[in-house]
Chains A and B, each alone.
Chain A
Amino acid sequence: MSSPTPVPLPDAQVPPPGQTGVAEPADRSDGGRRILHEMLTSSWLVSVLAVVLALILGGVLIAAADTAVQAAAGYFFSRPGDLLSAAWTAVSEAYAALFAGAVYDPRAEELSRAVRPFTETLTVATPLILAGLGLGIGFRAGLFNIGAQGQIILGGIFAGYIGFTFDLPPVLHLLLCVIGAALGGALWAGIAGVLKARTGAHEVIVTIMLNNIAVYLVAYLLSLNAFQRPGSNNPVSPPIPDTAVYPLLLGSGFRLHAGFLVAIAAAVFAWWLMERSTIGFRFRAVGSNPHAARTAGISVNAAYVWVMLTAGAFAGLAGSAQVLGTERVLTAGVAASYGFDAITVALLGRSKPLGTVLAGILFGALRAGGVVMQARTGTPIDIVLVVQSLIVLFIAAPPLVRSVFRLPSPDTPRAPKPVVPVTAKEVTA
C-alpha cells in the first residue's frame, strides 16, 4: 500500500473550478508578483512565438515604410500583384540584411569577414546577458528589479575608475576592475534591497529612482578632474590601460572580448546558484511563496537583500564588459539602453540562464543586424526597436499569443489529478 510510485487512477477527483483544492499562486494580493509569475511560467513555446509574431508585424511595418511598396499601393486595384511583390522584396531584403549584419554575411569575400557579424552580435549580447542574468535571479525571487541601468552605470564607474587611476600588473589589474564593477553594481542594487527589507519600499520605485540618480552621478563624476582625460573638458574618462582591459578573443579585427566568456561563466554560475545551492533554493522559495518560506524559517527580508546584491553584481559585470571591453573608456552613455533591454531579455529567457543567454544573443543580433539593415536597404533601425517592443508586449500577454496561435490555455484543468485512494484502515462492516 505504500508503493513509492503509485500510478494515477483513472477516476478523477473532481475539483470544481475556483476551488481546485490546489495551491494558488502565492500572493494574489500582490498584482505585480502575479503578473511576474504568469510571465515566467508560461511555456517556452510562447517565447518563441512571441518573437515570430513580432518579426511578422515588424515585416508589415517594413513593407509599409518602403517607398516602392507605397508607390505600388497607389495602383493597387489595377495591378494588385505589384504591391505584394514589392512588399515581399522589401521585407525579404530587409530581413536578409538583418541576418547578414547579425549572423553571417554571404557577400563577404573572406570567411573572417563573413562571420564577423556574428562576433558583433556576441559583443553586443555580452552586457545584455550579464544584466539579464541578474534581473532573472531577481524575477525568480519575486523582485521586479528594473534598476539594471543604474547598476550597469555604477559597475562601469567602479571598473573605469580602478582601471584608469591605478597602475597595476596586468592580470591583477583586470581582476580588481572586474571585482570593483561587481561590487559597484551590488552596492547600488543593495540600496533597493535594504530599503525593501527594512521599510517595505517597493523595489520598482526605488530602482527607477536609482537609475536616474546613477545617470546624473556619472555625468557629475565625468565633470571632475579625477575622472576626466587630462587636458580635456569633455565628459570622457582617460582610456583604460591595456593592463585592465578584457583581452580580445579573436584578434584585433574583431571587437569580441573576454567579457563574453565572463558572461558565459556567469550564466553557468547563475544556474548553479539557483538550482544547486541552498542560497538559490531560498531565493526561489521566497519568490514563489514568501509566506511558506517564512513559515519554514527562511528570512524573507535577508533574502531580498541578498537577491538584490547578487542581481546588482551581475549588472555591474555588464558595466565592466562595456568599459573594459567594448568601449575601453567611461562615458556618460556607458549603459546605453542595455539595462532596459536586459529586462526584456530576462523575461524572454524566462529568467533561466540558458534562456537569458539565447535571448541576449537574439537581441544582440537584432541590434547588430539593424545597423547593417539600415545601411543596406534604408529600412530605419527603429524597426528593430519596434520588434523588441512587440516582443515585450507579447511576452507580457501570453493569452494573446496563445489565442493567435490557438494554443490551449494552461489554466484549463489539466489531466485528471491522481485520486487519493483510500488507504487507511478498513473495517469489515
Chain B
Amino acid sequence: MKLELQGITKTFGPLVANDHIDLVVEPGEIHALLGENGAGKSTLMNVLYGLYVPDEGRILVDDAPVTFAGPGDAMAAGIGMVHQHFMLVPVFTVAENVVLGHEPVRGAGLIDLPEARRRVKEISDRFGFHVDPDAYIEDLPVGVQQRVEIIKALSRQAEVLILDEPTAVLTPQETDELIGIMRQLKESGTSIVFITHKLREVRAVADRITVIRRGKVVGTAQPSSTETELASMMVGRSVDLGVDRSVAVPGEVTVQVRNLTVIDQAGVRQIDDVSFDVARGEIVAIAGVQGNGQTELTEVVLGLQAPVAGSVTLDGVELVGRSVRDVLHAGVGFVPEDRSTDGVIADFSIAENLILDLHRYEPFARGVALRPAAVRENAEKRIAEFDVRTGSIDAHASTLSGGNQQKVVLAREMSRPLRLLIASQPTRGLDVGSIEFVHTRIVQERDNGTPVIIVSTELDEVLALADRILVMYRGRIVGDVPGGTDRDVLGLMMAGVPLDDAVRQAAEHRTTLGVADLEAAAPGAPPAPPAPPTAPTSPTAPTMPDQEEL
C-alpha cells in the first residue's frame, strides 16, 4: 500500500503544528520521521490516524484520496499505530487485548476466545514474536507489550504501521529485537513510519528519512548521512553532539550509601541491599530500565521515602531519617525525574519557582516576611546565568518549554553551594540545544568538586556523562563499571545479566546500535567488526566518542 500525505496543515489557534507537510510512504518501506520534541511529528501522525482533521491538505491511499473521521476509518484503510504509551488493558490477556474492539463472537454474543488466541498465535508465529496469547499484559516486559501492540495492529490488516518513539522504553537488546521485527515486517510488504528523535536508530533501520522542524519538512536524507548531518538538519544549525569534558579527577569519597533496602506497600523489594560510594568531582550514573528502583533510590536519599534498612551519609553525616528540608539544607541539590510534577509549580511565577526550597532563608525572607525585591533580583540573575528564555520573570512556569523549565529547576538547585547533586533523567524530553546546556552545567558542577549522581534510562546520556556507571536491575546494583563501557554490555546488564556473562554475550552478538557505536568511535573503519568487547574494567575503546549521540 502506498500512502501519501499532501500539503497537510494543522493549526491550533495561532500555532501552526504542521505547515504544508508532504510525505510519501512507499510500499514495504521503513520511513523515518525525524524531528525534535514538539517539531510536529505526533500531530502529523494523529492527522494520519484520524485523530485530528487537517485544516488543509489531503491523504491518499494508493493514489485515491481518503478522509478519516476517526481511528476506526484509518484502521479500516490499513493504517495501524503503536503509540508511545501503550494502549493496553493491564489485567486482560494478550488475546483479549488484541481483539478488544473487534471481538470475534459466536453464539449469543460470546467472545470467541479460541479464535482470538488463534489470531495472536498465527501472527506471533509468522514473525517469531514468541508471545503467549494467555499471558496477562501486566506480567509482560515492556518490549513484549510493544509486540502485543504490533500484533494488535497487524491483526487488523495494517499495511502501514506507525511506530511513535518505539525505542524510548526499550533496552538496547530489546531495541535490537524491534529492529529485527521492523525488517521482517518490511520483507512481508508492510510499510513502517518510524517516528523518533534518535539519530543512531534512524541510520540503522530507515530506508528513507524525512526531517521535520517546527512543523515543516526541512528535507529528506539517506541513512548514509552522518549523525552530525542529521542532527544539523533536525536542529537547524550545526551541532556538536559530544560533551566537552575533561577526565574526572575524583577526590575524597563523601557520599556513602550502605545496605539500603526499601520495601514498598506490596511487599516488593524496590531497593535490595544497595551500597555504593561517590567521590567529589565524579559523575556516577545509575543506568537501568525504568522501574528498577532508581526512582526509589533518589527519593530515599532526599528523604521523601524511608528505607527499612541502611544508611546514606554525606560528609559523614547520616541523611536517613531526616526531613527533605534538612537534606536539602545539608547541601543536596535534587533535579527530579518528572519536572512538571515534582520540579516546578506550573502556576507559580518563574521567580517563585526559583526559590521554592530557599524561600524561608535569607535573603529571600526576613522572619516570615518574603522580600520580593530579593526574589526578583535572584530571578533576574538566574535566568541570565542559565539562559532561561522567557519574556518575564513573572510569567508562570507553565508558559515555558520543557527545556526552559528544566533550566529553571537546574538554576534553583545549583544556586547554592552543593555537597551532592542528584539529577534524575536530567534531559528527558528536551531539545538538542537544552540537552547540550544541561550536560555542560552538570559537568561544570562536577569540575567544581561536587559529587554527582545521574539517574538515566537513556544509555546515550549515561555514556555521555558518566565517569562510573552503576547498573540497577530489580532493586540491586548488578554492575559497577567505568564510564564508556560497551553499550551492549550495559544493555545486557540492564536486563539482569551479570557482568562476565554480559561481556561474553555482547561479544557473541552485537546489536545494531552497538555496532554503530563502534563505527562512530572509529570512523572509516570497516562496518560491523564482531569486535573484541571492551574490557569493562578498563576504559578503552569508545570511552568518549566525539560523535556521541545526543
Contacts and interface: CB of A to CB of B under 8 A. Distances in A.
A413 B42 contact: no
Contact of B342 (A41, A295, A421): A295
Contacts of B327: 297
A99 B106 CA distance: 71
Given A22-B402, A285-B356, A295-B334, A420 B346 contact: no
A417 interface: yes
Interface string A394-418: 0000000000000000001111111
A426 interface: yes
Nearest to A272: B369
Interface in A211-267: none
Contacts of A414: 13-14, 399
Interface in B412-445: 429, 431-434, 436-437, 440
Interface string A147-174: 0000000000000000000000000000
Contacts of A23: 339-341, 344-346, 397-398, 405
B340 A24 contact: yes
A425 B436 contact: yes
Contacts of B400: 22, 417
A429 B228 contact: yes
Given A13-B214, A422-B432, A427 B239 contact: yes
Given A2-B387, A428-B238, A285 B324 contact: no
Interface stretch (A104-112, A181-189, A273-281, A357-365): A273-281
Contacts of A22: 340, 346, 398-402, 405
Contact of B346 (A26, A294, A428): A26
A183 to B, nearest CB: 20
B346 A25 contact: yes
Interface in A271-311: 276-279, 281-282, 284-285, 288-289, 291-299
A15 B370 contact: no
Given A21-B37, A295-B336, A420-B431, A413 B404 contact: no
B313 interface: no
Interface residues of A, number: 60
Interface stretch (A3-11, A80-88, A191-199): A3-11
Interface in B3-22: 12-18
Interface residues of B, number: 83
A422 B433 contact: yes
Contact of A295 (B302, B368, B369): B302
A12 interface: yes
A16 interface: yes
A31 interface: no
Contacts of B372: 276
A278 B346 contact: no
Contacts of B14: 12, 413-416
Interface in B470-524: none
Contacts of A2: 384-385, 387
A424 B372 CA distance: 31
10 contacts: A3-B384, A12-B14, A14-B38, A14-B40, A22-B405, A23-B344, A289-B348, A413-B12, A421-B389, A422-B432
4 A-B pairs closest in CB distance: A297-B325, A23-B346, A422-B433, A23-B340
Given A281-B370, A424-B437, 13 more contacts: A4-B380, A12-B214, A14-B39, A21-B401, A26-B345, A284-B348, A289-B341, A297-B329, A415-B14, A417-B399, A420-B403, A422-B433, A425-B244
